[in-house]
């Protein structure tokens, strides 16, 4: 049985007791807005409420309220999901106001200490990373131009526009192989992973678009290359930050973007750490299956992150809207002990991370690949590059 078959079987079995669809719990993400407004208005200790809310309070509520193992009917039509979709549509103007309103308050209104200025933009970065990038991720997976354009705008707000190309055309088809930049290698600490991804990601996205355009007989310099769109949007937002606050405004904007991207890549690190796909020979790899992602069903962080933690089903059904993503039992997927926030904090301490997660990876190998005894090549992704994914045979990028 392949991953899709397994997912369908599990979905059918759980559908008899399908969860009721309620949009309002997911709107919890909008509670970041009054917290940011309070921080800008009052400054001081109120700035700490933003990271405390996302990184401390939500995980504590996860401990109290536990997991949500209920699954909605995955065949629910889009017409019944309007309130869920609306939530992702309205965020861009809200984020735009938060980011540039805060830059205006710091550079024009003034009255903040240097620590408060950095703290405010850190809080903005927590918001654009925890909410904005998660919304962008949901939007970029949809086929409609309206939603994809909103996703591009949100990624440009954190100066990471290439992520759409990298995510859709590299990460999803090639997760768990040497071609995927953001599959964290076994024993690779986050402090090595993060600069590697920052360096390799843009080049990887360029190569992906170069290959896609070559199939249509076009040069990578052709105007249809979306890389140019990403760069223009980012330049426009940097110019706006400069128009509001000069070079200081540009620096503040770039700082919040770095904080947001740091959170994104911490999440990427956790989602696939040490998990690889079987090489079938001659650059061919097994299909993506449920067990190639770490999963979590924790209730509150799932609401906060739009079910992003139901990551296995997302990889098998990438176009499925967030309220319909399914959760599976440990016999089919490796489950995380908590939601993402505590684990991303743990990832910042590599020795602790390895002590906790390396045994989990080894247990995963025994469970899903009992016939493989030699994992030496997989530890460093020293496996053949998938066929047709790189225009030359030099570096793996």
Q: What is the mean pLDDT of the chain?
A: 92
The Cα–Cα gap between 187 and 201 comes to: 20
For a pLDDT cut of 70, what percent of the chain falls above it? Answer: 94
The Cα–Cα gap between 283 and 40 comes to: 53
Quick one: how many helices (H) and strands (E) in the chain? 17, 2
Average pLDDT on 94-113 reads 96
**Amino acid 42: pLDDT:** 96
DSSP-derived letter for residue 329 is -
Grade residue 392 by pLDDT with cuts at 50, 70 and 90: low
Pairing of strands 279-281, 284-285: antiparallel
One-character DSSP codes across 154-200: HHHTTT-TTHHHHIIIIIHHHTTSTT-TTSPPTT--HHHHHHHHHHH
Q: What is the pLDDT of residues 30-40, one digit of tens each?
A: 999 999 999 99
With a cut of 80, say whether residue 384 has pLDDT above it. yes
Q: What is the pLDDT of residues 331-382, one digit of tens each?
A: 999 999 999 999 999 999 999 999 999 999 999 999 999 999 999 888 788 8
Q: What is the pLDDT of residues 140-173, one digit of tens each?
A: 999 999 999 999 999 999 999 999 999 999 999 9
Average pLDDT on 10-16 reads 36
Residue bearing tokens 């309007």: 82
Please, which residues have CB within 8 angstroms of residue 355's CB and are 6 or more apart in sequence? Answer: none
Q: What is the pLDDT of residues 220-243, one digit of tens each?
A: 999 999 999 999 999 999 999 999
**Amino acid 18: pLDDT:** 64
Query: Taking the model in full, what pTM does it have?
Result: 0.92
How many CA atoms lie less than 13 Å away from 197 in the CB half-sphere? 29
DSSP-derived letter for residue 335 is B
Q: For 273-312, give the secondary structure using H, E and C.
A: CCCCCCEEECCEECCCCHHHCCECCEHHHHHHCCCCCCHH
For a pLDDT cut of 90, what percent of the chain falls above it? Answer: 89
């Amino acid at each position: 049985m392949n991953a899709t078959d397994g997912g369908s079987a599990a979905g059918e079995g759980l559908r008899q007791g399908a969860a009721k669809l309620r949009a309002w719990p997911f709107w919890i993400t909008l509670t970041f807005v009054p917290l940011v407004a309070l921080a800008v208005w009052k400054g001081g200790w109120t700035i700490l409420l933003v990271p405390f809310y996302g990184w401390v309070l939500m995980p504590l509520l996860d401990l109290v309220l536990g997991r949500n193992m209920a699954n909605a009917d995955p065949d629910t039509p889009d017409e019944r999901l309007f309130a869920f979709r609306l939530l992702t549509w309205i965020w861009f103007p809200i984020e735009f106001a938060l980011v540039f309103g805060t830059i205006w308050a710091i550079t024009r209104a003034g009255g903040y200490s240097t620590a408060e200025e950095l703290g405010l933009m850190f809080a903005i970065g927590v918001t654009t990373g925890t909410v904005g990038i998660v919304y962008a991720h949901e939007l970029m997976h949809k086929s409609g131009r309206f939603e994809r354009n909103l996703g591009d705008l949100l990624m440009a707000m954190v100066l990471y526009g290439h992520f759409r190309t990298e995510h859709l055309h590299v990460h999803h088809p090639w997760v768990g192989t040497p071609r995927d930049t953001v599959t964290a290698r076994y024993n690779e600490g986050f402090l090595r992973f993060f600069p590697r991804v920052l360096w390799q990601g843009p080049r990887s996205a360029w190569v992906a678009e170069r290959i896609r355009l070559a199939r249509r007989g076009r040069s990578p310099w052709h105007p249809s290359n979306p890389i140019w769109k990403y760069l223009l949007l980012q330049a426009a937002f940097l110019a706006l930050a400069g128009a509001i606050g000069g070079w200081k405004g540009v620096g503040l904007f770039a700082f919040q973007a770095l904080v947001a991207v740091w959170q994104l890549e911490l999440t990427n690190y956790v989602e696939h750490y040490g998990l690889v796909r079987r090489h079938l020979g001659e650059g061919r790899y097994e299909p993506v299956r449920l067990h190639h992602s770490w999963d979590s069903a924790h209730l509150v962080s799932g609401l906060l992150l739009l079910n992003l933690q139901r990551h296995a089903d997302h990889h098998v059904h990438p176009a499925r809207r967030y309220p319909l993503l399914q959760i599976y039992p440990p016999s089919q997927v490796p489950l995380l002990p908590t939601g993402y926030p505590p684990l991303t904090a743990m990832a910042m301490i590599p020795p602790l991370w390895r002590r906790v997660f390396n045994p989990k990876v080894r247990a995963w190998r025994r469970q899903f690949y009992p016939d493989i005894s030699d994992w030496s090549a997989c530890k460093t992704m020293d496996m053949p590059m998938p066929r047709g994914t790189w225009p030359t045979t030099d570096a793996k990028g």
